[in-house]
Chain A
Amino acid sequence: MDGFITLDEVEKVFSVRRKTGFLRRERQEVRAVDSLSFTVARGEMVGYIGPNGAGKSTTIKMLTGILTPSGGRLRVAGIDPSRERSRLAHRIGVVFGQRTTLWWDLPLIDSYRLTHRMYRIPNARYRENLDRLVELLELRTLLDTPVRQLSLGQRMRGDIAAALLHDPEVLYLDEPTIGLDVVSKAKVRGFLRELNAAQGTTVLLTTHDLQDIEQLCSRVMVIDHGRLMYDGPLTGLHEAGESERTLVVDLERELPPVEVPSARVVRVEGPRQWLAFPAGQSAAPVVARLAAEYPLVDLSVREPDIEAVIAKMYAERAVS
């Protein structure tokens, strides 16, 4: 496949000094990324997931030229990121979910003006892009507000706009919905879908929120211990990991475990019960059945988290 992003047996080895005693240290090699190979075609939207410390950030840092790989071959838009960091910077956009690149004490528009000049964006294109992004991300009324006064969701939208002003061909997002409320999450997701469809921007995102992937990505890659564990559609991941969603039910009083087809009670604590059912299945019939047969006070659905899915995946592999 003609890849826009290609990794060929990429490795990253850190040498970590560990304290082994008073003033005694031992050098230890840690393989953060271990012979990782994959390609992403232009215009793809890929979710990149894995538990903490799996090597996600290290991969992203190598793809953006922040870190130099210890071995293997890596290309983004035909450029070797670590050797031509500045040239690559013009062609990529990066959003770090937990670190804003906006100027805290200045009006939002000032951050965009700096990007305009630092990236040498032609005036006409800057105005056009700014107009479009401000419209789509609903930032019009916020442009003159100092960044410190923006809400987390507004700031995230502001950060995404800042990363796209120079028309990057690929956008990396590191936890773009972390800490956002439901409405803000929906806005960010809607925008990313639109960006990918209308501009054909390649998007690579890391996340802990499976819904981000469900709603955005046709392809998901799972990495753990620096190795690619899974590469394919999300449905396949659910099958591979047989993940389950959880329904938390509050009953009027303490009752023996409820009986509902296709769901099983996994935990009981006073009047509260936890029911597990396959992630691929709708919650509606289970809820309807419960409401009809039991004195229900409240309920909520919990999505499987990525750690759980991956843990299951391991368990399956160990058995087979």
Chain B
Amino acid sequence: MAERGRLAEGVRAYRLIAGMWIRSTMAYRASFAMTTFGSFAATFFDFVAIMLMFSRVDALGGWSLPEVAFLYGLSAVSFGLADLVIGSMDRLGRRLRDGTLDTLLVRPAPVLAQVAADRFALRRLGRVTQGSLVLGWALSRLDVDWTAGKLLLMPLTLLSGCAIFCAVFVAGAAFQFVAQDASEVQNAFTYGGTTLLQYPPTVFGKELVRGVTFVLPLAFVNWLPACYVLGRPYPLELPGWVVGAPPLVAVVCCAPAGLAWRAGLRSYRSTGS
């Protein structure tokens, strides 16, 4: 019950602070328009690179362009949503270094919510928009044998993927309590992870695929659901039931991330800076 109250408090604080940041951004409308377009364009060229590759080859690791686009779209939308919601957490290191985290600690609201909403940037919608367009294009080109299960899987996959990336962001932020300039390490897992997921698992070595399945379970963001929807064999000869796993994996990721955050905050409060 108390946990639930805290969650509601957190969401409320998040909305209040995110709202303030949106209004702050709107103080510079032209800059907002340009950075949103920039975010869209940067990710757009990201996909152009893949299309250029396909002008030379017909398949990548046995996957056709629409199929890779499907992977790309799932990963980009999941990651884009996570980045939109709590992507600014990598600023925590700076707050720790200049001591401004203290000003958040004297407010009557959960710190995680305040840090997550810090510098909330609507321009990150650019990435989500671009990912959705690619995903839509892929779906229009693919000849999928849709079933009720597959239809249900789509939104579930995106939400679980978003939650998995959120967990990585939170865990990365927690790590910054220990190593204050570790935001690049975090970026390697978040931005690096999403780039990895844009390519089919068949192009990577077994060890890497194993790593992103069992250690940092990014494979559940798009690889496994995409294999199921497209009727392809699972990497690593995983059993068929893993297709229902993403929501579970998301929960399993969020729990340790939350604990890591608590431990990080506790160590800050007992050592200071």
Are A114 and B16 closer than 8 Å at their CB atoms? yes
Residues of B within 8 A of A146 (CB): 27
Cα of A64 to Cα of B107 in the assembled complex, Å: 10
Q: When the two chains form their complex, are residues B23 and A106 in contact, meaning their CB atoms are under 8 A apart?
A: yes
Query: Contacts A66-B102, A82-B269, A96-B103 given: A118-B108 contact, CB under 8 Å?
Result: yes
Contact A110 B269 (CB under 8 A): no
Known: A65-B106, A85-B105, A89-B106. A110 touches B23 (CB 8 A): yes
Chain A residues with CB under 8 Å of B28's CB are 105
- Interface contact B271-A14, CB-CB below 8 Å: yes
Q: Which residues of B contact A287 (CB under 8 A)?
A: none
Q: Are A99 and B20 in contact (CB-based, < 8 A)?
A: no
A15 to B102, CA, bound (A): 20
Q: A14-B271, A99-B99 are in contact. Are A118 and B109 (CB under 8 A)?
A: yes
**Which residues of chain A (133-150) have a CB below 8 Å from chain B?**
146
Find chain B residues with CB under 8 A from A86 CB: 108-110
* Docked CA distance A200–B13 (Å): 30
**Quick one: which of A68, A106, A118 contacts B270, CB cutoff 8 A?**
A68
Contacts of A70 in B (CB 8 A): 270
In this complex, how many residues of chain A approach chain B with their Cβ under 8 Å: the count is 31
Minimal Cβ-Cβ distance residue in B for A166:
B108
Residue in A87, A104, A106 whose Cβ sees the most chain B Cβ within 10 Å: A106
Knowing A85-B105, A118-B109, say if A61 contacts B272 (CB, 8 Å).
Answer: yes
Contact among B24, B102, B107 with A103 in the assembled complex (CB-CB below 8 Å):
B24
- Asked if residues B23 and A92 are in contact (CB atoms below 8 Å), the reply is no
The proximity string for B residues 230-258 relative to A, scoring 1 for CB distances below 8 Å and 0 otherwise, is 00000000000000000000000000000
Q: Is B195 an interface residue (CB 8 A)?
A: no
B13 near A67 with CB under 8 A, answer no
Complex Cα distance, B20 from A146, in Å, reads 13
| B100 CB-CB contact with A under 8 Å | yes
Q: Is A90 an interface residue (CB 8 A)?
A: yes
Cα–Cα distance between A15 and B269 once the two chains are bound (Å): 13
Quote the shortest CB–CB distance from A189 to chain B (angstroms). Answer: 23
- Residues on the A chain within 8 Å of B16, using CB: 114, 117-118
Given A68-B269, A114-B16, CB of A61 within 8 Å of CB of B24: no
Question: Does A58 count as interface, using CB distance less than 8 angstroms?
Answer: yes
Within 8 Å CB of B24, what residues of A? 103-106
> Hey, which chain A residues are within 8 Å of B271, CB to CB?
14-15
Distance in Å: Cβ of B108 to nearest Cβ of chain A? 4
Q: Indicate with 1 or 0, residue by residue over A59-86, a CB within 8 angstroms of chain B CB atoms.
A: 0010011111010000000000010011
Q: Is the CB of A66 within 8 A of B106?
A: yes
| Chain B residues whose CB sits within 8 angstroms of the CB of A89 once the complex forms | 106-108
Task: List chain B residues, Cβ under 8 A from A310.
Answer: none
B16 CB to closest chain A CB, in angstroms?
6
The distance in angstroms between the C-alpha atoms of A65 and B23, with both chains bound, is 30
Give the CA-CA distance A106 to B19 in the complex, in Å.
12
Smallest Cβ-Cβ distance to A101: which chain B residue: B103
- B20 close to A96 (CB less than 8 A): no
In the bound complex, CA of A118 to CA of B272 (Å): 25
Contacts of B269 in A (CB 8 A): 66-68, 82
A-B contact pairs, 9 of them (CB 8 A): A65-B105, A65-B106, A66-B272, A67-B272, A86-B108, A86-B110, A87-B108, A99-B100, A106-B20
Contact of B106 with A106 in the complex, beta carbons under 8 Å: no
Tell me, in angstroms, the Cα distance from A101 to B109 when the chains sit together.
15
Residues 249-267 of chain A: 1 if any B CB is under 8 Å from the residue's CB, otherwise 0? 0000000000000000000
How far, in Å, is A166 (CB) from chain B's closest CB? 9
Q: Is the CB of A94 within 8 A of B106?
A: yes
Q: Chain A's nearest CB lies how many Å from the CB of B51?
A: 39
Q: Provide the bound-state CA to CA distance between A277 and B23, in Å.
A: 56
Question: Which partner residue on chain B sits nearest A15 by CB separation?
Answer: B271
Q: In the bound complex, what is the Cα–Cα distance between A117 and B103 (angstroms)?
A: 17
**Smallest CB–CB gap between B25 and chain A, Å?**
8
Q: 10 closest A-B pairs (Cβ-Cβ)?
A: A89-B108, A105-B24, A105-B27, A86-B108, A66-B105, A94-B106, A68-B270, A68-B269, A101-B103, A67-B272
Interface bits B38-75 vs A (CB < 8 Å: 1, else 0): 00000000000000000000000000000000000000
CB-nearest residue of chain A to B21 = A103
Nearest Cβ on chain A to B153's Cβ, whole angstroms: 39
* B248 CB, min distance to chain A CBs, angstroms: 32
List the B side residues contacting A294 at CB < 8 Å. none
Assuming the A-B contacts A70-B270, A146-B27, are A103 and B106 also in contact, with contact meaning beta carbons closer than 8 angstroms in the complex?
no
Q: Does A314 contact B (CB under 8 A)?
A: no
A119 touches B108 (CB 8 A): yes
* Nearest chain B CB to A37 CB, angstrom units: 21
Chain B residue at minimal CB-CB distance from A146: B27
Alpha-carbon gap, A94 to B272, bound state (A) = 18
Tell me which residues across on chain A come within 8 A of B107, comparing CB atoms.
89, 118
Residues from chain A with Cβ under 8 Å of B23 in the complex = 106, 110
* C-alpha gap A65/B100 in the complex (Å): 15
Assembly CA distance A146 to B109 (angstroms): 25
Interface hits, A91-125 → B, CB 8 Å: 92, 94, 96, 99, 101, 103-106, 110, 114, 117-119
Contact among A15, A64, A104 for B106, CB-based, below 8 A: A64
Closest A-chain residue to B111, C-beta based? A85
